[in-house]
Chain A
């Protein structure tokens, strides 16, 4: 099987080269046979990589430990579910996963794109195939998943227990899907530049792709936060580690891009900026891989460090040079069709939104690279950590949150005083009420008060939009409330789906702000002893250590410590945190594999999470060391993620995206309201 897999990789590589050469050369113009050959090469690569993937999965599932990759990441007692997900658990497998998914996306882009974009597609094929060929070449020349060991070990080394978590099996592929799908918009941008078809055609072609990749990135990042929170036991979900930052960077520029393309569609502005943004986003996605794989920046995410990183650095430089040179040669074709008319307009709000996103991305990049930069310039390594990122990004993030409310409601071109009054009186009132209530309740953390007040403001803008839309439909069509609501959203999916995404984002922000009120206490307790912790809402929690029990499960020995919880003197049940020691069986004896890992006890709620870490027993007695944490509002982050996905799905739902003039869908009064804030959907 490994031989077949190896052969399939070579086939994919050669097909990729052919597709790139034929596609980029432009010789296919006026030659249907060549054009067809380019397209078919894309499908051919996909088939070859499916074969390669099937070979690797077969090796994993049949426990063929003569394959180095299978030996390194699985063992006989590993649950099947994790054997399957071990495909992307390690570097070599994840490269294959990446190439495979990209080739599937590339085929979908060829098959699903409208014939209107036929003149772009062979160039798109050339770009996507070059990227696939690059990934395959890394496998062939540096990190081959089909590499064999000289002998066949009896058992594998097993999967790290911290990766044996459902979140961890979904989080990396989601992030990969996000990173990978950025290639498609990038490919269309390059195709538009090469073919000099620089109207909004390429933007229409990638509209859904950009939302898809943005969604995957968002979900991947959120799942990573969730995994860090439930699995790592330090009580937080985001540490501003270089690898985390690497996933945030393309998300930031992609979000900027999602907004700025609307300006180009509507007003013909920002053409150069948009092309630059998408090339930059693609580079950041490769940069993320480079950081993760090369170990140039010290990170606690220690992927196997290898020269594979430098393949990516080379590719990054090449792709950037190519993209920006191309952009520069087409610069004169990208004159804006309109200019900014007023600072108080939707265009201006979106421009500032873009500046802030790029500013945040720049500061995150700067902070991440700072150890390297300071060593180059000053000879000493200086690092910046979470305090730096919070200091810089919290104020910028709050400005963005404010624009989340302003952007969708302010008029295009030039907002009049009456437009401003009509749109913002109620939301501003909501925000002010929230701020006053929190201050009256005794909240003194300035950033938190501002964050909650802005969340109230944004929620006010969205609620007002839904209310006005529904009211107009009911008045004009006489529809009952639920139908009016569903039709309103269904007929303007991009717009109202976008609002729901904004609601998701503001729910995230509420969750982030809640962390300002985290309470924590460590204690060593004998059975029967207890500690108290006061929650930010003024309740007193009492945690009583009950005892430690030991038992054995499939591939691990578990020590479980149980705590009884009381709130204000009333019992609230028990919580159990575990210490697990995984083992492998060698010659009938259990040999510990990996270091012990902790299972955190978490009780989630709308207001706060109780988060208990059992750090271990004292010298084998029943005395236990604990960390007790109260994390306010964390729950909101995960549910913000669900709302965001829901909104994203609405915007992408087929059929809603065709550009029908709004006035045809609804009579004048309603149409005017839409034009005031209109999306061309």
Chain B
């Protein structure tokens, strides 16, 4: 067999494994990214959407944050203007997570059948006054 052919086989193996790793990776680790309204309509249409790991991007309802510092548990409500979900999170939240005004958050976790979203991860995005401010909190 010519070296060129052998190389093509090797190259095909690499390309195929990259493709395989990508498709498997997406299948295994991909999560839905939904707004509260999308989540509400998904669960209404298909109850199996409860207790599925997903991300929800929404705004924190001002004044809804209640912290229990000693247990590091925090609960708040998020909304997109049409639907609102209560969220419970245990862990440290980023500095940018405040009651102040309309902060955007991405919560990762599961929506329970009781309608409460249990977050394993809260990311807060800051408002317009900042640039380049990444913040992450991990459970």
* Contact status A625-B134, CB under 8 Å: no
Interface string of B1-35 (1 = CB under 8 A from A): 00110110011001101100110111011111110
CA A340 to CA B1, docked complex, whole Å: 12
The answer to the question of A207 belonging to the interface, with a C-beta cut-off of 8 Å to chain B, is no
- One of B58-66, B69-77, B78-86, B111-119 contacting the partner: B69-77
A239 contact from B34, B100, B125, B134, Cβ within 8 A? B134
B132 interfacial by beta-carbon distance below 8 Å: yes
CB of A160 within 8 A of chain B?
yes
Q: Are A623 and B70 in contact (CB under 8 A)?
A: yes
CA distance A391 to B31 in the complex (A): 15
A388 to B25 Cα, complex, angstroms: 5
Chain B's closest residue to A234 (CB) is B136
Least CB separation from B4: chain A residue: A340
**Complex: A111 Cα to B7 Cα, angstroms:** 42
Distance, CA A613 to CA B92, complexed state (A): 10
Nearest B-chain residue to A617, judged by Cβ:
B69
A285, chain B: closest CB distance, angstroms: 18
Contact of A363 among B18, B91, B95 (CB under 8 A): B18
A300 to B96, CA, bound (A): 11
User: CB distance A396 to B21 under 8 Å?
Assistant: yes
Q: Are B125 and A300 in contact (CB under 8 A)?
A: yes
A355-B15 in contact (CB<8A): yes
* A343 and B133 in contact, given A366-B22, A383-B55, A615-B92 (Cβ under 8 angstroms): no
A589 → chain B closest CB, angstroms: 19
Structural contact, A228 and B18, CB atoms closer than 8 A: no
Residue of B nearest to A627 (CB): B92
* Chain A residues with CB under 8 A of B17: 395
B3 contacts across to A, CB distance below 8 A? 339-343, 345, 348
**A167 on the B face (CB < 8 A):** no
Q: Which of A293-316 contact B (CB under 8 A)?
A: 298-304
Q: Which one, A49-57, A558-566, A591-599, A662-670, is touching chain B?
A: A591-599
- CA A172 to CA B72, docked complex, whole Å: 35
Would you call A160 and B33 a contact (CB within 8 A)?
A: no
* Residues of the B chain whose Cβ atoms lie less than 8 Å from the Cβ of A362: 18, 22
Asked if B46 lies at the interface with its beta carbon under 8 angstroms from chain A, I say no
Q: Are B72 and A524 in contact (CB under 8 A)?
A: yes
Bound-complex Cα distance A241 to B15 (A): 25
Give chain A residues whose Cβ lies under 8 Å from the Cβ of B134: 228, 232, 239, 241, 243, 299-301
Q: Report how far A232 CA is from B10 CA in the complex, Å.
A: 42
Is A380's CB within 8 Å of the partner chain B?
Answer: yes
A385: chain B residues at CB < 8 Å are: 29, 31
Contact residues in B for A594 (Cβ distance below 8 Å):
129-130
Q: Is the CB of B14 within 8 A of A382?
A: no
Contact string against A for B residues 75-111, beta-carbon threshold 8 Å, 1 for contact and 0 otherwise: 0000000000000000110111010100000100000
A301 touches B106 (CB 8 A): no
Task: Report the bound CA distance from A367 to B6 in whole Å.
Answer: 30
Q: Say if the beta carbon of A387 comes within 8 Å of chain B.
A: yes
Judged by a CB distance under 8 angstroms, whether A359 is at the interface is: yes
Total interface residues on B, CB under 8 Å, equals 51
A370 to B135, Cβ gap below 8 A?
no
Interface string of B37-65 (1 = CB under 8 A from A): 01000000000000000010100000000
Given contacts A300-B135, A392-B22, contact A595 B95 (CB under 8 A): yes
- Contact residues in A for B130 (Cβ distance below 8 Å): 160, 302, 594
Q: Which residues of A contact B4 (CB under 8 A)?
A: 339-340
Task: Mark A222-246 against chain B: 1 for CB-CB distance below 8 A, else 0.
Answer: 0000001000101100010101000
- Find chain B residues with CB under 8 A from A656 CB: none
> Quick one: which of A302, A370, A388, A524 contacts B133, CB cutoff 8 A?
A302
A264 close to B (CB within 8 Å): no
| A160 and B15 contacting across the interface, CB-CB below 8 Å | no
How far apart are the CA atoms of A343 and B21 in the complex, in Å? 24
A160 touches B131 (CB 8 A): yes
Q: How far is the CA of A522 from the CA of B70 in the complex (A)?
A: 11
Q: Which residues of A contact B38 (CB under 8 A)?
A: 380
- A window 75-91: CB within 8 A of B: 89-91
Known contacts A228-B134, A391-B28; A359/B18 CB under 8 A: yes
Nearest B residue to A526, CB-CB: B70
Asked whether A157 is an interface residue with its Cβ less than 8 Å from the other chain, the reply is: yes
* Contact between chains at A596 and B133 (CB < 8 Å): no
Q: Does A340 contact B25, Cβ atoms closer than 8 Å? A: no
- Nearest residue (CB) in B for A345 is B3
Contacts of A234 in B (CB 8 A): 94, 135-138
A594, B96: Cα distance in complex, Å: 9
Q: Chain B residue with minimal CB distance to A172?
A: B132
Are A384 and B30 within 8 A (Cβ)? yes
Asked if A302 meets B26 with Cβ closer than 8 Å, knowing A343-B6, A595-B96, the reply is no
Does A607 touch B at the CB level, under 8 Å? no
Q: Which of A300, A381, A392 contacts B25 (CB 8 A)?
A: A392
Q: Please tell me if the beta carbons of B69 and A298 are within 8 angstroms of each other in the complex.
A: no
Shortest beta-carbon distance, A246 to chain B, in Å?
13
Measured between beta carbons, the chain B residues less than 8 angstroms from A232 are 134-136
* Bound CA span A385–B123, Å: 13
CB pair B69–A598 under 8 Å, yes or no, is: no
> CA separation between A172 and B131, bound complex, in Å?
12
Instruction: State whether the Cβ of A156 lies closer than 8 Å to any Cβ in chain B.
Output: no
Q: A302-B133, A625-B69 are in contact. Are A387 and B95 (CB under 8 A)?
A: no
Q: How far is the CB of B64 from chain A (nearest CB, A)?
A: 17
Decide if A329 is an interface residue (CB 8 Å cutoff).
no
Known contacts: A301-B132, A302-B126, A625-B92. The answer to whether A359 contacts B15 by CB under 8 A is yes
Is A616 in the interface zone, CB < 8 Å from B?
A: yes
Residues of A within 8 A of B123 (CB): 300
Q: Which residues on B are within 8 Å of A, measured CB to CB?
A: 3-4, 6-7, 10-11, 14-15, 17-18, 21-22, 24-26, 28-34, 38, 55, 57, 69-72, 91-92, 94-96, 98, 100, 106, 123, 125-126, 128-138
Please name the 8 residue pairs, one residue from A and one from B, whose CB atoms are nearest each other, closest first.
A618-B69, A359-B18, A381-B33, A300-B134, A387-B29, A392-B21, A388-B29, A388-B25
Give A contacts to B, CB under 8 Å: 89-91, 157, 160, 162-163, 172, 228, 232, 234-235, 239, 241, 243, 298-304, 339-343, 345, 348, 351-352, 355-356, 359-360, 362-363, 366-367, 370-371, 374, 380-385, 387-388, 391-392, 395-396, 522, 524, 594-598, 613, 615-619, 623, 625, 627
Question: Beyond A383-B30, A392-B22, A625-B69: 7 further Cβ-contacts under 8 Å?
Answer: A160-B133, A232-B134, A234-B136, A239-B136, A300-B134, A382-B33, A522-B92
Listed by A's residue number, 6 A-B pairs whose Cβ atoms lie within 8 Å are A341-B3, A391-B25, A392-B25, A522-B92, A618-B69, A627-B92
